[in-house]
Amino acid sequence: MAVRRDGNGPWRYRKLIKLPDGTKHRISGTPSINTKLAAEKAERDHIERTLNPQLMKREVPTFGKFADDWWQVYPKAAGNRSSTQRATEVHLRVHLKPHLGSVPLDQVRGLVMDRFFAKLAETKHRQGKRLSEKTRKNIRATLRKMFVCAVDWELLDAVPRMPRIKVPEPKFDFYTREESELLLAAARSEEERLQILFALHTGARVSEQLAIEWGDLDFKNRLVVIRRATIRAEVGPTKSGRERKVPMTASLEQALKRHRNLRAKRVFCDSNGQPLEDWILLDRLHVVCKRAGLRQIRWHELRHSFASQLVMAGVPLRQVQEWLGHSTITMTMRYSHLSPGGNAKLIAALDGLGDPPWQQRANETGTD
């Protein structure tokens, strides 16, 4: 079997086979499931279809027809959040179907694929700005999901190659602990202060904070349980799809107990008990920032402040990852440069300052 993978990349197969007429033909592809066994099976199936052309006779729809069928089934079957479904619909309507709709599904590969992504790189928003790398990468992810389904539905042999899109590390701002104290001191009501304090002391996303109910607050064990999120009045799971628990600080506990009321199940609501919208919190934050004499930051950067201050205080990245609800440590690593000393003691070994790790172990065991 001619299956292989490069480093941690996907499993692929590539093989030169001899046809009944004596000619040689090269086959290659990537299985829909990224395992060696799946690649070997995909290779066997591809060989069988090549040697027996009658097996290849099947009707392949246009990309547009397939996209319509896929949209009716996949997002709901996969349990995508409403926000994900809205983004996917925009990808299909604005970018994918207009450019690829009339192309047969099995021809969306090679030059056709490269031309599409080249065109995408030149596409502009209504504001005149080109699509960001992150947006183009999200469109690529939607397209790949579609092709994985096409393989599962036996419309294609393998997922076609797609150009990689590198996304630069996103920049973010945050408030130090001292700046956070100034911000909280500038709040003019207990409610306003609690809204900001909750974000600073839990790292909750704004969609998660607005969905917090009194039943999610475990005062006995001093925990905040983040179970759900609300976007455009729709309540669903958190971004990761999992709940997480964040310890409740003493100052947050006191503020919550002072604010506790029976207006609604939601902790953050208006005077009539109706849920708040995220733009209300953002407007209030801007007013408080100005009042405190601080630079303007986005509400999401209160979450960055939560993480940054923890890392600066020496809290391990793995613990910060758990409290933030990041699926992988990769996202949390953006804060690693803020750790005390920035690993300066380790790099100092290059200057001969301090013993290397192997010598340290030898010193501890008394051997050399």
pLDDT tens for each residue of 30-39 = 887 788 888 8
Percentage with pLDDT > 90 across the chain: 56
CA dist., res. 219 & res. 262, Å (int): 17
CA dist., res. 148 & res. 144, Å (int): 6
Which runs of E-coded beta strand occur in the chain?
3-4, 12-18, 24-29, 217-218, 223-226, 228-231, 234-237, 244-247
Q: What does CATH list as the number for 63-152?
A: 1.10.150
Q: Where are the alpha helices (DSSP H) in 176-295?
A: 177-185, 190-202, 206-209, 250-259, 278-292
Greatest mean pLDDT among 216-220, 232-236, 260-264 lies in: 216-220
Superfamily covering domain 177-341:
Intergrase catalytic core (1.10.443.10)
The type of residue at 43 is E
63-152 and 177-341 share one fold: no
pLDDT digits (tens, 9 = 90+) for 65-97: 999 999 998 887 777 777 888 899 999 999 999
DSSP letter (8 states) at residue 260:
-
Q: Which residues contact 124 (CB under 8 A, 6 or more apart)?
A: 130, 131
Tell me the β-bridge partners of 27: 15
How far does the chain reach from its first CA to its final CA, in angstroms? 48
Per-domain residue ranges of the chain? 3-56, 63-152, 177-341
pTM (2 decimals)?
0.67
32 in Cβ contact with 151 (< 8 Å): yes
Q: What confidence category does residue 361 fall into, taking pLDDT thresholds of 50, 70 and 90?
A: low
pLDDT surpasses 60 at 368: no
What's the CA angle centered on 253, arms 247 and 259, to 5 degrees?
Answer: 140
Token output for 18: 């001899």
CA dist., res. 175 & res. 142, Å (int): 35
